[in-house]
Structure 1
């Protein structure tokens, strides 16, 4: 009897283990730390660049800059934990990393220049609350975001991010003496080359850590070439503590907050695509209305907290989707470990300096691969759509045209009113909303009876 019971217990445990989805799998600690570090190093450029841009433009001193950098890492870490673990309807329970958005940083700076930094912080807080106001309406619109829309959006995301990383490698000012420096271009492609070699010739966990290996190898080459920023390496101070309300009490001005509120609606569209995309990568059967809402609530509550620490909006990022896809490691506990690392980094000033020392060109080389992977995921989604159907073809073609226009021709809408320019100038959002509207017109409101846009069936003609 004892033997039978032992066998039954053993089989029950095996069934329970087998029932654990890859996204919920708890991996060994050394695996979590290695792959979590990979996520951290890939995303580190974003908070560093955002804080230094804000500090340079607004004239912050070194102490305030250090405090804001510490605060940004802290809020990103807490947001990553919330999105990965989830709690009471907040957080998607998916392997997400949270980052300061590029557009919100620019809008924060513009508000601070037009008013002051206290008003800019107040605008962040008001916008975070605005998320909760518009979310119930937005949830009802999610049916208009099938694969034909999300796939088109991911292609635009990939192209846009590759362009941003291209600027990180070559610089933005053609008149600058170091613009398109061959050394930086060499470092970027050396990083890509090392990543490919590791992915091709190594096996097991080393193959999965190809992104981290390429990043570290590229940094080593940069060090040998004298391109590492050693002036940022310092053992003192040891502890860096982010300051609450670094700009004093926030000033709340609804008019000043309008640009960020407009971006908030754009951000919800992006969060929809990112949630669907990473859900597919990890093989999780999403309930779109529920899970997208959880992602957006996580963005809102973390941005609200960040507003009290002087950051702009902190949002889920498409950047780490490529990492998950490339490595095949789907567990959300990996990003939990990354979130813990970000929190630790926020309090350890020497670690912050060490991450800052990685050359932009090396980070850019790593990002080029990962962000191109996001675009490939969009192509994979579009494969489920019958693009021989002229309606779907027009949806994708026009949406790509609208989205690529401001990406490839920057400043095309610069003479438009600010609110219109902010929307149309965001190629990802403009393209995604165009796709959603056209898909609704062609495939939802048409009197003609049509197959669904996400038709996975293969037509008889394509089978021939």
Structure 2
């Protein structure tokens, strides 16, 4: 008589294997959402350095290649690298201010920027095993505050997109608002009346309809796509051999520290969303991948890399928590880096289309933070003060970017990042209120790791 077989242990959402069509469509959503941010950094730095349109296009393809490789490694894991969760990687905005300054410095230029990026990536590889230990200082009180701040700091991006983007000749014109509204309403209706597969691709459906309406309004610009080469391979050191200069290196090393602080908060947020415990070992793997991507980026003509917060909102929005989705999205990015025409087509998505989707997804990030705060003793007045001050400081550079303009330039990676400001404030105030003086509280014990 045969023994009854034991029931199969269900896979965690992080390990879920989706049907091929659903896998591809959700992966495309991730690519479409992060593409604007991925190309923005090389656009800004390339223009500041006075590069030609062809050279800037090469920078963009280089960024897509490294972002794709780093995304695959973060999602699947290779050796000691990769957090093995649904993470999308791309060029970090934390370094933009420093790199724009470097681009205008005599004798620095692109080789100096790439040399500083390589050195900063190597520095990150050295310190990642030590930085990962800070996870014990991110109890639900701190994590919830940081995640709420991430969502709130992204809202101005979504609103700017919905109004037509920074380049709009008439910001807030009715056609921009109509497109953003169509995308947002479509997402809401799909989530209200449909189920399963359709909910998972609701963002893609909304953006597709928005793209069609934008095309009808004549807002989709495909001029120049014919001149783009059919295929182009990114080659190392395209702008010459990297140059290593002390001041740019020190500035970029500071940027890497800020990236680590931001990434730690976002990895913990993603852990809450996907139901994965982000212990020091897992966090170390994620940070090592961040640093390794930046180290590679300097050789491949691009910049420091980090995880993208907006894609965390998409994970929460769709409910698809599989790391294989972002791995496929990473392969898409690698493919786009080889196909300039395809990359050009994705880049033609008007900002208003992204804005309608961003309002829903970035709001979901903030809602996740509020949910996590319910696990903390939020009735305590001091904890309320921690949340209030940290979110307030996090919003300062968002509401008025020039608020810290008179502070030293080396502080810009911190003072220009709302996420970094909120994270540093929340960690510091938690130490002051709940740890120092022997007053160990439940807020820390819940996250204490052995």
How does the TM-score come out when normalised to structure 2? 0.93
Cα deviation for residue 454 of structure 1 reads: 7.4
2:315 to 309, 316, 324: 324
In the other structure, the counterpart of 1:48 is 39
2: CA distance, partners of 1:173 / 1:281: 32
2:198 is the counterpart of 1:206: yes
**Which runs of 5 or more residues in structure 1 are unaligned?**
457-464
2:101 is the counterpart of 1:107: no
The answer to whether the 8 Å contact 1:195/1:213 transfers is yes
Q: 1:449 to 1:243 in 2, by over 3 A?
A: closer
Equivalences for 1:121-136 in 2 at 5 Å? 121-136=114-129
CA shift digits 1:325-362 (9 cap, x unpaired): 11111111111111111111111122111101111111
Q: 1:235 to 1:197 in 2, by over 3 A?
A: farther
Cα deviation for residue 157 of structure 1 reads: 1.1
In the other structure, the counterpart of 1:144 is 137
Cα deviation for residue 168 of structure 1 reads: 3.2
Equivalences for 1:20-31 in 2 at 5 Å? 20-31=11-22
The answer to whether the 8 Å contact 2:207/2:354 transfers is yes
Q: 1:325 to 1:172 in 2, by over 3 A?
A: closer
In the other structure, the counterpart of 2:393 is 402
2:406 is the counterpart of 1:423: no
2: CA distance, partners of 1:65 / 1:448: 54
2:235 to 225, 243, 265: 243
In the other structure, the counterpart of 1:118 is 111
In the other structure, the counterpart of 2:361 is 370
2: CA distance, partners of 1:301 / 1:173: 32
In the other structure, the counterpart of 1:195 is 187
The answer to whether the 8 Å contact 2:183/2:210 transfers is yes
2:156 to 120, 144, 163: 163
For structure 1, which segment, 254-263 or 147-156, has the greater mean C-alpha deviation from structure 2 after superposition? 254-263
The answer to whether the 8 Å contact 1:126/1:254 transfers is no
1: CA distance, partners of 2:286 / 2:208: 31
In the other structure, the counterpart of 1:435 is 426
The answer to whether the 8 Å contact 1:83/1:295 transfers is yes
CA shift digits 1:177-215 (9 cap, x unpaired): 433333222222221112112222222201221011011
2: CA distance, partners of 1:230 / 1:243: 26
1:153 to 124, 136, 146: 146
2: CA distance, partners of 1:39 / 1:421: 29
1: CA distance, partners of 2:153 / 2:227: 37
2:289 to 298, 301, 316: 298
1: CA distance, partners of 2:411 / 2:33: 33
1:272 to 245, 264, 271: 264
In the other structure, the counterpart of 2:341 is 350
The answer to whether the 8 Å contact 1:271/1:292 transfers is no
Q: 1:107 to 1:169 in 2, by over 3 A?
A: farther
SS for the counterpart of 1:315 is: strand
1: CA distance, partners of 2:163 / 2:26: 29
Cα deviation for residue 68 of structure 1 reads: 1.4
2:172 to 169, 175, 180: 180
Cα deviation for residue 173 of structure 1 reads: 6.4
For structure 1, which segment, 34-43 or 400-409, has the greater mean C-alpha deviation from structure 2 after superposition? 400-409
The answer to whether the 8 Å contact 1:127/1:264 transfers is yes
Cα deviation for residue 424 of structure 1 reads: 2.5
In the other structure, the counterpart of 1:282 is 274
Q: 1:200 to 1:449 in 2, by over 3 A?
A: closer
The answer to whether the 8 Å contact 1:75/1:306 transfers is yes
Cα deviation for residue 320 of structure 1 reads: 1.0
2: CA distance, partners of 1:224 / 1:166: 22
How does the TM-score come out when normalised to structure 1? 0.91
Q: Aligned pairs, how many?
A: 445
**Which runs of 5 or more residues in structure 2 are unaligned?**
none
Cα deviation for residue 19 of structure 1 reads: 4.3
